């Protein structure tokens, strides 16, 4: 055992020596032969440890990075292993990496477009610039939606329930503060001090959220989630969208990709009381409905949602198996819970809401689903933009040409 330890230390010392020689200016050919003769089969981990030892002794990280081209020749195929990121958030295109890249975008927006204009609110131009920057910051909603609909469900799956709830509440505060700041500017009824205080409080909260995401949320996820789960998150992310452009394609190794559960290509047959359908026919029918439907079972677990082309609220497959209470912001979850309680008790069979949102009149309906014996089976949510329906006038009896 001591021999292995000594040998390992010796190999590390020689690797350090070779890298140091390269750093001092020796050519690749001068050190390559020495390496191949003495250390054939050296592990990537030992090479990585040697580099870290050099950094600890004072060699700048940038100098070690500068040796990458040399490594490619000296260490041959090991280079890919040596420089695999130790943290998946460093991998281009990985969902965790995208979170960080979007955070850098947000920080730049705050530091270069919001804060400078906030500190020099002396004319219409700076106020106009601040308004534009806040409009851009409002797009942070995309970042938050992806986090709430894709990452939080997995945290809950592994029993991590506290942080998602806290962060969702803060996300809603940020959304609200952005709207308030924009509304204040648009009203033109504000003092400079009032606006500065509101926007400063907003930017502080945004900065704190970035810290929480990268120092609390991502470490938890990276330590807990499997490769397959990250792949599923990556596949679902485009459903919601991104805050930044030019998203790299993340390509896990083929070995890992093979473990991802593949959809069955052979459609099955479903026998219903009033007919027989193939699975692809049923899916096509449900997705063609002019409204979105979501079904939550009797145990309050999300079991299904349709995937129509004009979806109003974001839905990702990550919510399947999620408790319905966790699918709503903290501020409104009590409403959902009350509806479900009334349905279960038989007090109500349906509940309707309607809201104006982005030029749409969104009609949200909840129905208690019961069997022929009136036993409660779950809740069906139906969501539809009814503004086009409200605008219908007259009659149409014939097809348009």
From 207, 237, 257, give the residue that closes a domain. Answer: 257
Residue 219 CA to residue 212 CA, distance in Å, equals: 10
In this structure, is residue 396 part of a structural domain? no
Looking at the structure, tell me whether residues 386 and 304 fall in a common domain.
Answer: yes
Highest-pLDDT range among 16-30, 126-140, 252-266, 323-337 = 126-140
- Model pLDDT, residue 119: 78
Same domain, 206 and 76: no
* 255 pLDDT more than 60: no
Residues 142, 96 share a domain: yes
Q: Are 232 and 155 in the same domain?
A: yes
The answer to whether residue 19 scores a pLDDT higher than 90 is no
Domain-embedded: residue 301? yes
Residue 11 falls inside a structural domain: yes
CB contact burial 19-46 (16+ within 10 A = b; e otherwise): beebeeeeeeeebbeebeeebeebebeb
150 in any annotated domain: yes
What is the DSSP pairing of strand 292-297 with strand 376-385?
Answer: antiparallel
Shared domain check, 279 and 233: no
In a domain, 263, yes or no: no
Q: Does residue 241 share a domain with residue 285? A: no
Pick from 45-54, 108-117, 138-147, 158-167: least confident: 45-54
Question: Do 385 and 287 share a domain, yes or no?
Answer: yes
Residue closest to 133 by CA, chosen among 214, 209, 202? 202
| Per-residue buried b or exposed e for 235-269, using 16+ beta carbons within 10 Å of the residue's own CB | ebbebbebbeeebeebebeeeeeeeeeeeeeeeee
Work out the percent of the chain whose per-residue pLDDT is above 90.
45
Statement: residue 33 has pLDDT above 50: yes
Look at residues 191, 225, 257 and tell me which one is the last residue of a structural domain.
257
Does residue 264 form part of some domain? no
- Whether the model clears a pTM of 0.75, i.e. scores above it, the answer is no
CATH number at residue 175: 1.20.120.520
Cα separation of 367 and 132, whole Å?
42
The mean per-residue pLDDT over the stretch 93-110 comes to: 94
User: Residue 227 CB: number of other CB atoms within 10 A?
Assistant: 15
Task: Answer yes or no: is pLDDT of 390 > 50.
Answer: yes
Same domain, 294 and 169: no
pLDDT, mean over the chain: 81
What tens digit of pLDDT does each residue of 104-142 get?
999 999 999 999 888 776 678 888 899 999 999 999 999
> 3-state SS string over the chain?
CHHHHHHHHHHHHHHHHHHHHHHHCCCHHHHHHHHHHHCCCCCHHHHHHHHHHHHHCCCCHHHHHHCHHHHHHHCCCHHHHHCCCCCHHHCCCCHHHHHHHHHHHHHHHHHHHHHHHHCCCCCHHHHHHHHHHHHHHCCHHHHHHHHHHHHHHHHHHCCCCHHHHHHHHHHHHHHHHHHHHHHHHHHCCCCHHHHHHHHHHHHHHHHHHHHHHHHHHHHHHHHHCCHHHHHHHHHHHHHHCCCCCCCCCCCCCHHHHCCCCCCCCCCCEEEECCEEEEHHHHHHHHHHCCCEEEEEECCCEEEEECCCCCCCCCCCHHHCCCEHHHHCCCCCHHHHHHHHHHHHHCCCCEEEEEEEECCEEEEEEEEEEECCCCCEEEEEEEEEECHHHHCCCCCCCCCCC
Q: Are residues 243 and 288 in the same domain?
A: no
Q: Are residues 239 and 336 in the same domain?
A: no
Number of domains in the chain: 3
* Residue 398 included in any domain: no
Shared domain for 281 and 372, answered yes or no, is yes
Q: How many CB atoms lie within 10 A of CB 128?
A: 12
Least confident of 1-10, 84-93, 131-140, 215-224: 1-10
Q: Let me know if residue 295 belongs to a domain.
A: yes
pLDDT at 70 > cutoff 50: no
Task: Please say which residue of 222, 257, 292 terminates a domain.
Answer: 257
Residue 360 pLDDT more than 80? yes
**292 and 358, same domain (yes or no):** yes
What are the C-alpha distances in Å from 185 to residues 123, 252, 361? 13, 46, 26
CATH number of the domain bearing residue 297: 3.30.450.20
Q: pLDDT grade, residue 81 (50/70/90)?
A: very low
257-310 per-position pLDDT tens digit? 333 344 333 458 888 888 889 998 999 999 999 999 999 999 999 999 999 887
Q: What is the pLDDT of residue 305?
A: 94
Domain of residue 74 covers 2-82
């Amino acid at each position: 055992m001591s021999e292995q330890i000594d040998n390992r230390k010796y190999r590390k010392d020689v690797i350090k020596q070779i890298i140091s020689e390269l750093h001092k200016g020796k050519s690749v050919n001068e050190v390559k032969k020495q390496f191949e003769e003495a250390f054939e089969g050296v592990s990537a981990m030992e090479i990585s440890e040697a580099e870290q030892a050099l950094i600890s002794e004072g060699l700048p990280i940038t100098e070690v990075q500068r040796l990458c081209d040399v490594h490619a020749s000296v260490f041959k195929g090991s280079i890919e292993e040596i420089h695999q990121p130790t943290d998946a958030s460093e991998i281009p295109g990985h969902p965790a990496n995208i979170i960080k890249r979007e955070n850098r975008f947000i920080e730049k927006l705050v530091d270069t477009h919001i804060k400078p204009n906030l500190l020099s609110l002396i004319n219409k131009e700076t106020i106009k610039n601040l308004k534009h920057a806040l409009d851009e910051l409002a797009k942070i909603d995309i970042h938050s939606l992806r986090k709430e609909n894709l990452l939080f469900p997995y945290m809950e799956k592994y029993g991590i329930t506290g942080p998602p709830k806290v962060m969702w509440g803060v996300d809603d505060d940020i959304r609200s503060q952005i709207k308030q700041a924009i509304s204040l500017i648009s009203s033109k009824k504000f003092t400079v001090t009032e606006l500065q205080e509101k926007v400063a409080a907003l930017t502080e909260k945004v900065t704190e959220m970035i810290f929480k995401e990268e120092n609390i949320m991502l470490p938890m996820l990276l330590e807990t989630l499997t490769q397959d789960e990250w792949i599923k998150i990556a596949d679902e992310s485009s459903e919601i969208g991104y805050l930044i452009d030019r998203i790299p394609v993340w390509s896990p190794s083929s070995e890992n990709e093979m473990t991802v559960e593949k959809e069955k290509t052979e459609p099955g047959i479903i026998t219903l009381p009033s007919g027989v359908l193939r699975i692809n026919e049923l899916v096509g029918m449900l997705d063609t409905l002019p409204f979105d439907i979501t079904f939550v079972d009797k145990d309050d677990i999300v079991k299904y949602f349709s995937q129509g082309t004009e979806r109003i609220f974001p839905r990702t497959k990550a919510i399947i198996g999620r408790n319905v209470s966790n699918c709503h912001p903290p501020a409104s979850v009590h409403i959902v819970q009350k509806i479900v309680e009334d349905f279960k008790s038989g007090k109500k069979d349906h509940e309707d809401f309607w809201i104006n949102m982005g030029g749409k009149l969104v009609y949200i309906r909840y129905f208690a689903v019961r069997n022929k014996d009136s036993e409660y089976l779950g809740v069906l949510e139906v969501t539809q933009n009814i503004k086009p329906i409200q605008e219908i006038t007259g009659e149409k009896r014939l097809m348009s040409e």
